[in-house]
């Protein structure tokens, strides 16, 4: 017995040749095309059908002998793989580098690799990848200029976990501290504040999306008697804005020095962070400054098949936070219990492959392509903004929700954005540009005008009827 939803789909996906999921030969024609996520697909792309859920169905008693169940599952997976390929080709809105080749690591799939506990302390569970994890951490420690003996960190399950950890470190160091974060900070920062029941001050931003240090100073002065824990964004989610770390620190010092309040900065930088690091120019992120922790995602700019991240903090802070756990024969200082042991190997693999220079090249390519995109949008009369040190192009939200879904654009109010990652090629951008220009000729006419984005991205970047 197979669930009806799935059965119907599986039948359709093989053009009806699979009557009732019975023919094994037909199923062997599972997708054999080679996968090139950068290739431009010939039009027309089939409309994306809202996927039915893949019900779990109980095996029949004779499945072993008939092979029906295997055949059925193979067909479901083949269809799913096709969807993934199509969706990968039309992906522009999220900061994920979808371009990687980890074929050499497929041999590790057969192992249940788990790094539970502290990366620096051997646990009793032997099927781990701590040696790779610490290797990756050491690489980031060098990037962020902190000595091996002075840092602690781990490979997290995502950027959010890094933020949860970094902010927890801040709170353990300053239990009555107030968390300050610009209002354009990632939602995980405010989630952390809620989870930890911390007092949290939202700071205003400039039109670029950077933290407004004037407002920051006012808020600091309102809370003179309490320590400050600051979340600094190096690449905000929507606009890719880079907070001026040096100005933030200076503002803190000016408003704290007379009271002798210690300060703690948590730097949260996700995709743009690495971009800034490989470009130079912006205030450098280094543990030589009064930074308590830094967190980045591993599956964004670097690219990884599973979400992951890197979190680094000062070793001296971690002792306040950790507990020894006899069951693990290790120390518990992480947010999660079991930890993905595969992710560090993927990161290790890419870091070895590309190295600092390789990333630098990719960053330059991303910025060139981002400028190309912004220029072409503006030429076409479309409001668009690109921050310095960023590859996130913010532009007018397309009027057609189907178009938004098709290109997987992340939107906020009148804004949409494209994050130009290494997997976003000029061909892909041209393909997108042609479609949006064509779309606009249908969406807009004398009666319906494009939205005004002056309040979102500034007058100079707005091409609405009033500001062009």
Ligand X SMILES: *Cc1c(COP(=O)(O)O)cnc(C)c1O
Q: Binding-site residue total for ligand X (CB under 6 A)?
A: 15
- Select the span of 136-144, 230-238, 389-397, 459-467 touching ligand X (CB under 6 A): 230-238
Nearest distance in Å: CB 158, ligand X: 3
Nearest distance in Å: CB 4, ligand X: 35
| Residue closest to ligand X when measured from CB atoms | 159
Nearest distance in Å: CB 284, ligand X: 19
C-alpha distances in Å from residue 317, one per residue of 74, 177, 340? 50, 15, 24
**Residue 51 contacts by C-beta under 8 Å, 6 or more apart in sequence?**
83
Work out which of 69, 79, 171, 186 binds ligand X, going by CB under 6 A: 186
CA atoms within 13 A on the CB side of 380: 22
Catalytic residues: 390
C-alpha distances in Å from residue 367, one per residue of 5, 312, 375, 425, 426? 45, 27, 12, 11, 12
Nearest distance in Å: CB 424, ligand X: 16
Nearest distance in Å: CB 296, ligand X: 9
Task: Check: CB of residue 393 under 8 Å from CB of residue 374.
Answer: yes
Cβ nearer to ligand X, comparing 158 with 229: 158
Q: Is the torsion defined by CA of 412, 232, 145, 311 positive or negative? A: negative
Nearest distance in Å: CB 165, ligand X: 12
240 near ligand X, rule: CB under 6 A:
no
C-alpha distances in Å from residue 316, one per residue of 155, 172, 322? 19, 12, 11
Task: Check: CB of residue 274 under 8 Å from CB of residue 422.
Answer: no
- Select the span of 5-13, 30-38, 233-241, 359-367 touching ligand X (CB under 6 A): 233-241
* DSSP tag of 411: E
Work out which of 170, 227, 235, 422 binds ligand X, going by CB under 6 A: 235
Cβ nearer to ligand X, comparing 10 with 275: 275
309 near ligand X, rule: CB under 6 A:
yes
By CB under 6 A, what part of segment 263-302 binds ligand X? 268, 270, 297
**Residue 197 contacts by C-beta under 8 Å, 6 or more apart in sequence?**
none
Pairing of strands 178-182, 228-233: parallel
Q: Is the torsion defined by CA of 167, 173, 175, 178 positive or negative? A: negative
The alpha-carbon radius of gyration of the chain (Å, integer) is 25
Nearest distance in Å: CB 273, ligand X: 8
- Select the span of 56-64, 155-163, 347-355, 383-391 touching ligand X (CB under 6 A): 155-163
Work out which of 13, 115, 160, 387 binds ligand X, going by CB under 6 A: 160
Work out which of 129, 237, 390, 423 binds ligand X, going by CB under 6 A: 237
330 near ligand X, rule: CB under 6 A:
no
Three-class SS state of 259: helix
- Buried/exposed 115-137: b ≥16 CB within 10 Å, e otherwise: bbbbbbeebebeebbbebbbbbb
Work out which of 153, 292, 303, 307 binds ligand X, going by CB under 6 A: 307
Euclidean distance between CA atoms 135 and 345, whole angstroms: 10
Work out which of 21, 119, 159, 292 binds ligand X, going by CB under 6 A: 159
- Cis peptide leading into 244, omega within 30 of 0? no
- Select the span of 153-161, 167-175, 353-361, 367-375 touching ligand X (CB under 6 A): 153-161
Residues lying near ligand X in the complex (CB under 6 A) are found at 95, 158-160, 186, 188, 233, 235-237, 268, 270, 297, 307, 309
């Amino acid at each position: 017995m197979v669930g009806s939803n799935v059965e119907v789909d599986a039948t359709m996906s093989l053009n009806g040749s699979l009557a009732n999921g019975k023919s094994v030969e037909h199923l062997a024609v599972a997708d054999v095309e080679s996968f090139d996520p950068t290739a431009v697909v010939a039009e027309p792309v089939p409309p994306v059908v809202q996927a039915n859920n893949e019900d779990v169905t109980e095996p029949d008693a004779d499945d072993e002998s008939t092979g029906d169940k295997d055949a059925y599952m193979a067909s479901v997976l083949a269809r799913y793989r096709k969807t993934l390929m199509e969706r990968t080709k039309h992906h522009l809105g999220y900061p994920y580098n979808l371009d990687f080749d980890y074929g050499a690591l497929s041999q590790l799939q057969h192992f249940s690799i788990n790094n539970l506990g502290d990366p620096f302390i051997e646990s009793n569970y032997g099927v781990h990848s701590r040696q790779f994890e610490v290797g990756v951490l050491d690489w980031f420690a060098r990037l962020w200029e902190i000595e091996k003996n002075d840092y602690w960190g781990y490979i997290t399950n995502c950027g959010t976990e890094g933020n949860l950890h970094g902010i927890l470190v801040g709170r353990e160091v300053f239990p009555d501290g107030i968390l300050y974060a610009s209002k354009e900070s990632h939602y995980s920062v405010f989630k952390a504040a809620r989870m930890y029941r911390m007092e949290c001050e939202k700071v205003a931003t400039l039109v670029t999306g950077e933290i407004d240090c004037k407002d920051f100073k006012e808020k600091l002065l309102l809370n003179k008697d309490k320590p400050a824990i600051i979340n600094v964004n190096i690449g905000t989610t929507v606009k890719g804005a880079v907070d001026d770390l040096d100005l933030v620190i200076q503002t803190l010092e000016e408003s704290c020095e007379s009271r002798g309040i210690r300060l703690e900065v948590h730097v949260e930088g996700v995709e743009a962070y690495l971009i800034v690091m490989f470009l130079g120019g912006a205030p450098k992120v280094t543990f030589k400054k009064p930074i308590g922790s830094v967190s980045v995602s591993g599956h964004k700019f670097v690219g990884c098949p599973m979400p992951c991240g890197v979190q680094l903090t000062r070793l001296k802070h971690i002792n306040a936070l950790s507990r020894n756990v006899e069951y693990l024969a290790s120390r518990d200082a992480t947010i999660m219990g079991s930890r993905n042991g595969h992710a560090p190997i993927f990161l290790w693999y890419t870091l070895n492959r590309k190295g600092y220079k390789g990333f630098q090249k990719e960053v330059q390519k991303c910025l060139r392509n981002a400028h190309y995109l912004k220029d072409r949008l503006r030429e076409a009369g479309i409001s668009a903004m690109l921050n310095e040190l960023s590859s996130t192009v913010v532009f007018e939200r397309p009027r057609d929700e189907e178009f938004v879904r098709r290109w997987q654009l992340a939107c906020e109010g009148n804004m949409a954005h494209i994050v130009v990652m290494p997997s976003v090629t000029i061909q892909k951008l041209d393909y997108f540009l042609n479609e949006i220009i064509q779309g606009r000729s249908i969406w807009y006419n004398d009666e319906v005008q494009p939205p005004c984005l002056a309040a979102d991205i500034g007058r100079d970047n707005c091409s609405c009827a009033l500001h062009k």
